Amino acid sequence: MIGLGVVKPDSLALITGSSHLQLGLSEKPFHGEGIWGTYAEALLPGLHTVEGGQTSTGSVINWLKNLFGESDYSSLNRNAQKLPPGSEGLIIQDHFQGNRTPHTDPRSRGAVHGLSLKHSRAHIFRASIEGIAFGSELIFESMRENGFHPENVVISGGATRSKLWLQIHADVSNVPITLTRNPDAPLLGCAILSAVGAGFYQDIPSAVETMVQIESTVEPNTDHHEAYKPFLESYKKTYSTLRNIRKNLED
């Protein structure tokens, strides 16, 4: 969080990789559905750290790449970029290894809904990214319902290399996605703490002001945000609808 410059209230870090981790700072304690914390003064005095997470994000995208026999993501990203929001009615639930937030259900599983013969590999790829973004939005909604409103999301990790991924996340949640100049946030965070400890800066926020630099910001497309709303509502229903089916299969 420190290496991304997330040191102010209502700021949020999105750490990407095989999974997602959402970490924010709030001026007041709260607890939402499936939200971890808040943790009083875990990062900075007077602020509470809030945490959410998704189990299968980058791991799903990597699995699809291998399943489709692609050596990299360039072709998949390029073809998925041509499709409209909602992937022409294809919705993918991203619970391939369970769900952390908001359902806290390790036995939940991924699902594909709306698949037809018109859908291609590009549809499945894009719908998977959209499903991950929908999962992130459910976490943000749980936070908002409890008074924590992320005004900006600062991101790190492998997903920063995909313009499509960044734009879809910004569009679904209608929040700007910010990228910092230094891609190695953990190392920069260590350097910031060392600089403060050595007396070069008065405190962590002061060091962050100088040492963390913004590279670019992906602004949400409001038309796409509106287009995603019905698909998000359908996504929300998949968990409760499929839960009983899953239990019957387990039995």
Is the pLDDT at 149 greater than 90, yes or no? no
- The pLDDT score that the predictor gives to residue 28 is 87
- The pLDDT score that the predictor gives to residue 243 is 84
Is the pLDDT at 32 greater than 90, yes or no? no
What does pLDDT average to over the chain?
92
Cα(28)–Cα(49) distance, rounded to whole angstroms? Answer: 9
Q: What is the mean pLDDT of residues 172-189?
A: 91
What b-and-e string marks burial along 184-206, b requiring 16 or more CB atoms within 10 Å of the CB?
Answer: ebeebbebbeebbeeeebeebee
pLDDT in tens, 81-94: 999 999 999 999 99
What's the pLDDT band for 217 if we cut at 50, 70, 90?
A: very high
Domain ranges of the chain: 2-181+217-243
What's the pLDDT band for 251 if we cut at 50, 70, 90?
A: low
**Does the structural domain 2-181+217-243 have CATH classification 3.30.420.40?**
yes
Cα(148)–Cα(197) distance, rounded to whole angstroms? Answer: 30
Helix axes 204-211, 185-197, angle to 10 degrees: 130
Is the pLDDT at 245 greater than 70, yes or no? yes
Cα(204)–Cα(207) distance, rounded to whole angstroms? Answer: 5
Cα(226)–Cα(1) distance, rounded to whole angstroms? Answer: 30
Nearest to 14 by CA among 172, 250, 123, 251: 172
